[in-house]
C-alpha cells in the first residue's frame, strides 16, 4: 500500500506592495551605482518606502502587508451573521462574568487569548470551550514590541502560543490577532507557514481606555448611517478591561445592550471558527 502523500504548504504569495518595494530597492541601488550623483534621490526614495511600510504596519486594518480579515465572508453576510471577539484574556474576574452574560443571550463569541495567561488559567480556558465559544491566538505574551520583532522571534512567539492553545483546548487556532493590531512586513510569511488568518475588526469599542460604557457602545453599534451590520467583526476586551466610575469592567456594562441591539437589527452571532474557512493546512 503506498504511503500517503505529504502535505506541502503553498508558497507564500508576495503582496504587491512588497514586490514593488523590492523593485524600488533594486532600482535605487542600480541608479546609485551607475550614476553616483543620484544617491541622495535613491536614498530618499528608500527611506520614504520604509516610512510607508511602517505606516501600513501601524494601521491595524491595512491589507497592504498581506491578507487581513476585517469582516466576515460573503456567506456569513448572507446569513446576517456578526462576530463578537474578546481580546487579552482570560481574566479570572471578568471572563466568567462575561461568559454568564453571553449564556443569557445565547451568544457564542471568539476569545483571542494571550497564551501565557491561558496557561495560568487553564480551567477557565476549558470552560470557554465547554460553553461553545471559540479560542484563537493572540500571541504568547502580548509583547509591546511585537511589531518590531524579526521572523524568528515572531515564529517563536506565535508558534509557541499555537502549540499551547492546541494542547489546552484540543483544537489548534486558525486565526491570529496581533497585539494592538500592530505588525511589520515579516509577519504574514510566519502566519502563512502556520496556516493562520490575520484577523482585525470592523468596529472596536476602545474599551481598554474608555471608561464610559455609553461611548463604547456607540462606537460599536454606530449611527443610523453606519449602523451595526451583517458581516461586522466587533472588538472588545475581557483582559485589560477599563473600569467604569463605579469600578465595574466596561465590558460587562456594554455586553447586554450591545447584544440586544444586534438582536433588534436581525443579526445572528457566530464564531470565527464557524464563519471563516481555514487558510490552509500548515
In-domain check, residue 11: no
Task: For residue 145, give the 3-state DSSP assignment.
Answer: coil
In-domain check, residue 197: yes
- Shared domain for 241 and 128, answered yes or no, is yes
Nearest alpha-carbon partner for 90 in 133, 119, 58, 68: 119
- Shared domain for 127 and 23, answered yes or no, is no
| pLDDT at residue 60, as a whole number | 86
- Shared domain for 100 and 181, answered yes or no, is yes
Single out the catalytic residue among 50, 87, 103, 142.
Answer: 87
- Shared domain for 47 and 109, answered yes or no, is no
264 carries an active-site annotation: no
In-domain check, residue 186: yes
- Shared domain for 100 and 227, answered yes or no, is yes
| pLDDT at residue 36, as a whole number | 75
The answer to whether 268 and 166 have CB atoms below 8 angstroms apart is no
Rounded to the nearest 5°, which phi and psi values hold at 53? -65, -40
In-domain check, residue 208: yes
In-domain check, residue 141: yes
User: What span, in angstroms and rounded, lies between the C-alpha atoms of 77 and 31?
Assistant: 49
Write the pLDDT tens digit of every residue in 122-167. 999 999 999 999 999 999 999 999 999 999 999 999 999 999 999 9
- Shared domain for 237 and 210, answered yes or no, is yes
| pLDDT at residue 63, as a whole number | 85
In-domain check, residue 223: yes
Helix axis angle, 213-221 relative to 250-264, nearest 10°? 30
- Shared domain for 44 and 78, answered yes or no, is no
Across 78-188, the runs of DSSP E, i.e. the strands, are 81-89, 110-113, 134-137, 175-176
| pLDDT at residue 56, as a whole number | 58
Number of continuous H segments (helices) and E segments (strands) in the chain = 11, 8
Domain limits for position 47: 17-57
| pLDDT at residue 27, as a whole number | 56
Task: For residue 53, give the 3-state DSSP assignment.
Answer: helix
- Shared domain for 157 and 215, answered yes or no, is yes
Output the nine-digit C-alpha cell for 17: 506592495
User: What span, in angstroms and rounded, lies between the C-alpha atoms of 204 and 207?
Assistant: 8
User: Residue 100: which CATH number?
Assistant: 3.20.20.370
Output 124-129 pairs: Cβ under 8 A, ≥24 positions apart: 124/90, 124/92, 124/95, 124/96, 125/90, 125/165, 125/168, 125/169, 126/168, 126/169, 127/96, 127/99, 128/90, 128/95, 128/99, 129/169, 129/170, 129/171
| pLDDT at residue 257, as a whole number | 97
- Shared domain for 24 and 163, answered yes or no, is no
| pLDDT at residue 43, as a whole number | 65
Number of domains composing the chain: 2
User: What span, in angstroms and rounded, lies between the C-alpha atoms of 146 and 161?
Assistant: 14
Nearest alpha-carbon partner for 84 in 205, 196, 181, 195: 205
For the chain, which ranges sit under pLDDT 50?
Answer: 1-7, 24
Rounded to the nearest 5°, which phi and psi values hold at 90? -80, 150
User: What span, in angstroms and rounded, lies between the C-alpha atoms of 145 and 68?
Assistant: 20
The answer to whether 139 and 158 have CB atoms below 8 angstroms apart is yes
| pLDDT at residue 2, as a whole number | 41
In-domain check, residue 118: yes
Residue 4 is classified by DSSP as: P
- Shared domain for 52 and 164, answered yes or no, is no
| pLDDT at residue 41, as a whole number | 60
- Shared domain for 53 and 190, answered yes or no, is no
Single out the catalytic residue among 133, 232, 237, 238.
Answer: 237
- Shared domain for 108 and 195, answered yes or no, is yes
174 carries an active-site annotation: no
Amino acid at each position: 500500500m503506498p504511503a500517503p502523500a505529504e502535505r506541502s504548504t503553498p508558497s507564500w504569495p508576495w503582496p504587491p506592495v512588497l514586490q514593488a518595494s523590492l523593485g524600488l530597492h533594486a532600482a535605487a541601488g542600480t541608479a546609485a551605482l551607475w550614476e553616483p550623483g543620484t544617491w541622495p534621490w535613491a536614498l530618499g526614495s528608500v527611506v520614504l518606502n520604509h516610512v510607508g511600510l511602517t505606516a501600513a504596519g501601524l494601521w491595524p486594518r491595512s491589507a497592504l502587508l498581506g491578507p487581513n480579515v476585517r469582516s466576515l465572508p460573503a456567506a456569513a453576510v448572507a446569513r446576517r451573521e456578526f462576530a463578537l471577539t474578546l481580546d487579552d484574556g482570560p481574566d479570572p474576574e471578568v471572563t466568567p462574568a462575561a461568559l454568564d452574560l453571553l449564556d443569557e443571550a445565547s451568544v457564542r463569541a471568539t476569545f483571542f487569548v494571550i497564551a501565557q495567561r491561558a496557561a495560568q488559567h487553564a480551567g477557565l480556558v476549558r470552560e470557554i470551550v465547554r460553553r461553545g465559544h471559540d479560542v484563537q491566538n493572540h500571541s504568547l505574551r502580548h509583547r509591546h514590541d511585537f511589531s518590531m520583532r524579526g521572523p524568528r522571534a515572531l515564529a517563536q512567539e506565535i508558534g509557541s502560543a499555537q502549540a499551547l492553545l492546541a494542547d489546552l483546548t484540543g483544537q489548534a487556532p486558525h486565526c491570529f490577532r496581533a497585539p494592538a493590531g500592530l505588525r511589520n512586513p515579516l509577519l504574514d510569511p510566519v502566519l502563512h507557514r502556520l496556516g493562520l488568518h490575520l484577523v482585525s475588526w470592523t468596529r472596536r469599542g476602545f474599551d481598554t481606555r474608555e471608561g464610559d460604557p455609553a461611548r463604547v457602545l456607540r462606537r460599536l453599534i454606530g449611527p443610523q448611517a453606519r449602523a451595526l451590520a451583517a458581516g461586522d467583526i466587533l472588538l472588545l476586551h475581557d483582559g485589560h478591561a477599563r473600569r467604569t466610575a463605579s469600578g465595574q469592567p466596561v465590558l460587562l456594562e456594554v455586553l447586554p445592550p450591545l447584544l440586544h441591539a444586534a438582536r433588534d437589527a436581525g443579526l445572528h452571532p457566530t464564531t470565527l471558527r464557524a464563519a471563516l474557512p481555514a487558510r490552509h493546512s500548515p
